[in-house]
Amino acid sequence: MCGILGSIDIKLSEEELDLIKHRGPDDSGLVSIPGPMHRLWLGHRRLSIVDLTAAGHQPMSSDCGNYTLIFNGEIYNHEEIRKTLNQQQFRGHSDTETILYALKENGIKAAEKFNGIFAFAFVDLIQQKLFIARDFFGVKPLYYSATTDGFLFSSELRPIKSIIKNISIDSNSLSTLLRLRYVPSPYTLYKNVYKVRSGHFIEVDLSVERIKPIEKALSSNDSKLFSGSFNDAVDQYKELFSASVKRQLMSDVEIGIMLSGGVDSAMVASIAANNGSQKTKAFTVGYDGKYASDEILDAQETASLLNLEHHIVKISNNDYHDLFAQCVEITEEPTATTSTIPFYYLSKLASEHVKVVLTGQGADEPLGGYFRYKEELLRQKLPNFVLDPFCSLVNNLPIKSEKIRRATQALPIRNDIERFDEAYSIFPYAQIEKLIGKSHNRSLEAIQYNYDLYKAKHLPHSALRMMKIDARMNLADDLLNYTDKISMHFALETRVPILDTELVSFIESLPLSYKVNLFKGKIVHKKNAEQILPGNIINRPKKDFKSPTNEWFRNDIGTIGDLLTQPNTKFATFFNRTEVNRTLELHKKGFNMEKQLYLLLSIYYWLEKS
């Protein structure tokens, strides 16, 4: 796991590369590559995980000198890929060397076979091409910008912001953020700065004077519908799940586990512990006081059962507020997801013991673990003449649950894209208009793009369509984004075995009824868990890695209000203080507005730092 930085025609320095030093404190490299039309700079900061020797140093060039790679991530099937390549060219055993020569021999299409997490830049001087690419689920971030001076790309926004002068905020992206809780790729909150979409690459022709980045999708095979019985599916799922975790134990350093109280991380931990060479370390975060979201007791029970070396850290209300601004600075992009600060503590704790951790992230989206997939099932069961008046009635009641509000506003909408947009929404369009004076945003565009790219309309149920999009859009630009930024702030590599490409391909081939129904989610997943975990772990209530911000915000609403409604701040130049105060008042009255307030606070701190 590392950090990459590169450019065309924009000279890079060691100082700019050091802006991402936290991603790779073990080694660094910066090279300049001249060409007939353009000069390239490629920089790399290394966190040594596989092949700790100098053979893994980057930037890495082929023996002939015509091909150069900088790479962030891990390719778990690289040994299988290596067997298909010319063996005479290898000097070490790193996955970097494998993918360099795979790309040399097979071009960018070689990346379609990479089972792993990656962001890389590959220079082909024979074809005079630069390729930058991001993995299929967007686990690793990758930003880029084309300016009149040249082309920049980086694992993080910091170097790009440092180099590009007079960078400005994109108001359409700000509106999108208020709608979705994150800005979906390819956009960012800055004008002319973009994220590579998950499962995509950018191609730049170096043989022409004008730099013109072209975005293309990496091809992935459509999953063929599984035709076996449910028991057959469980057996095959068990094999693929186990193989995925074992693959991701690939490392020359110790690997730990981020352990929640839920079934997903427990399953990963069980397989890892049974296949490790030493007692596995597990890490859990919780809270001072009694909160329903605290997972320490549940995680302790799991750790004891699996014989894990368990480490915990607790957060207080004061800790939470003290770190808010710092976490926004680390993640570089505001979010309404309240788990960023607990994840900061969790990453810090883990980094004091190991350099790599496995997580249970990524199960809910492909396996139907969220309430919104059951909503999609419900709307198929209820005729419109029942659904429409029922939702209209509920929407006119003073319902204080955000989950119910979103559900009843989304359910009657006939069009998939518009309904998904409503189901994801944080703020309604009318309120966004009042907050910042405009509601035009890119949420519908982003959903439509992914809907078309992954041929969602051909899937037999709207729940499957939503799950397909969520696994590639919501994950990449929200949960996985903050996971990467915060963990890499502590030079900690996080791996996501449940997002193994072979495993997800199989999951997406399964009938909907094998994954979710009106009463249960992740059905095949939990059936497999029954073979390795007791029922009390499998059937624990889902806590979603939540933090108790609802209660904390209610106790500190005055302090929050003072921040968000004070004049003469950058926040005040964008936001209508009267409308912000309305959100605060609703929370005071018992309506759960924690996500909305968390997002507004995130934007406040982000603007103050930008």
**pLDDT tens per residue, range 301-354:** 999 999 999 999 999 888 777 789 999 999 999 999 999 999 999 999 999 999
User: What is the pLDDT at residue 102?
Assistant: 96
pTM across the whole model: 0.95
Q: What is the DSSP string of 320-365?
A: HHHHHHHHHHHHSS--S-TTHHHHHHHHHHHHTT-SEEE--TTSHH
Cβ atoms of residues 238 and 171 within 8 Å:
no
Residue 281 CA to residue 255 CA, distance in Å, equals 8
Residue 411 CA to residue 382 CA, distance in Å, equals 10
Sequence-distant (≥ 6) Cβ neighbours of residue 205 within 8 angstroms: 128, 129, 212
Residue 522 pLDDT grade (very low, low, confident, very high; cuts 50, 70, 90): very high
Residue 441 pLDDT grade (very low, low, confident, very high; cuts 50, 70, 90): confident
User: What is the pLDDT at residue 398?
Assistant: 83
Range of lowest pLDDT (264-278, 358-372, 506-520, 529-543):
529-543
Residue 250 CA to residue 261 CA, distance in Å, equals 25
φ, ψ at 7 (rounded to 5°): -160, 165
Range of lowest pLDDT (117-126, 290-299, 516-525):
290-299
User: What is the pLDDT at residue 240?
Assistant: 97
Instruction: Quickly tell me which residue has 């839920």 as its tokens.
Output: 262
Closest of 345, 343, 402, 332 to residue 603, by C-alpha: 332
Query: What letter would DSSP give residue 187?
Result: B
User: What is the pLDDT at residue 386?
Assistant: 87
As a whole number, the mean pLDDT across the chain is 93
User: What is the pLDDT at residue 502?
Assistant: 95
On the CB side of 372, CA atoms within 13 Å amount to 24
Looking at residues 437-447, what average pLDDT do you find? 91
| 282 token code pair | 């597990």
C-alpha of 418 from chain center: 23
How large is the greatest C-alpha to C-alpha distance in the chain, in angstroms? 72
User: What is the pLDDT at residue 52?
Assistant: 66
User: What is the pLDDT at residue 53?
Assistant: 64
Looking at residues 215-233, what average pLDDT do you find? 89
Range of lowest pLDDT (51-55, 159-163, 271-275):
51-55
| 476 token code pair | 């990449």
Looking at residues 87-101, what average pLDDT do you find? 86
User: What is the pLDDT at residue 54?
Assistant: 64
Decide if pLDDT at 585 tops 80: yes
- Name the helix (H) or strand (E) containing 214: strand 214-217
User: What is the pLDDT at residue 372?
Assistant: 95
Residue 101 pLDDT grade (very low, low, confident, very high; cuts 50, 70, 90): very high
Looking at residues 226-245, what average pLDDT do you find? 97
Looking at residues 133-150, what average pLDDT do you find? 96
Residue 199 pLDDT grade (very low, low, confident, very high; cuts 50, 70, 90): very high
User: What is the pLDDT at residue 105?
Assistant: 95
Strand partners, 151: 8, 146
Instruction: Quickly tell me which residue has 């170097």 as its tokens.
Output: 159
User: What is the pLDDT at residue 98?
Assistant: 95
Decide if pLDDT at 540 tops 90: no
Pick the more confident residue, 47 or 267: 267
Closest of 94, 22, 6, 83 to residue 54, by C-alpha: 94
Looking at residues 356-381, what average pLDDT do you find? 95
pLDDT tens for 174-195 read 999 999 999 999 999 999 999 9
Residue 201 pLDDT grade (very low, low, confident, very high; cuts 50, 70, 90): very high
Residue 46 CA to residue 473 CA, distance in Å, equals 28
194 three-class SS: strand
Sheet order of strands, 356-358 included: 309-315, 281-287, 255-258, 356-358, 493-495
* Three-state SS annotation for 514-578: HCECCCCECHHHHHHHCCCCCHHHHCCCCCCCCCCHHHHHHHCHHHHHHHHHCCCCHHHHHCCHH
Determine what percent of the chain is predicted with pLDDT higher than 70: 98
Residue 279 CA to residue 274 CA, distance in Å, equals 9
pLDDT tens for 20-61 read 999 998 889 999 999 999 999 999 998 877 666 666 789 999
User: What is the pLDDT at residue 93?
Assistant: 77
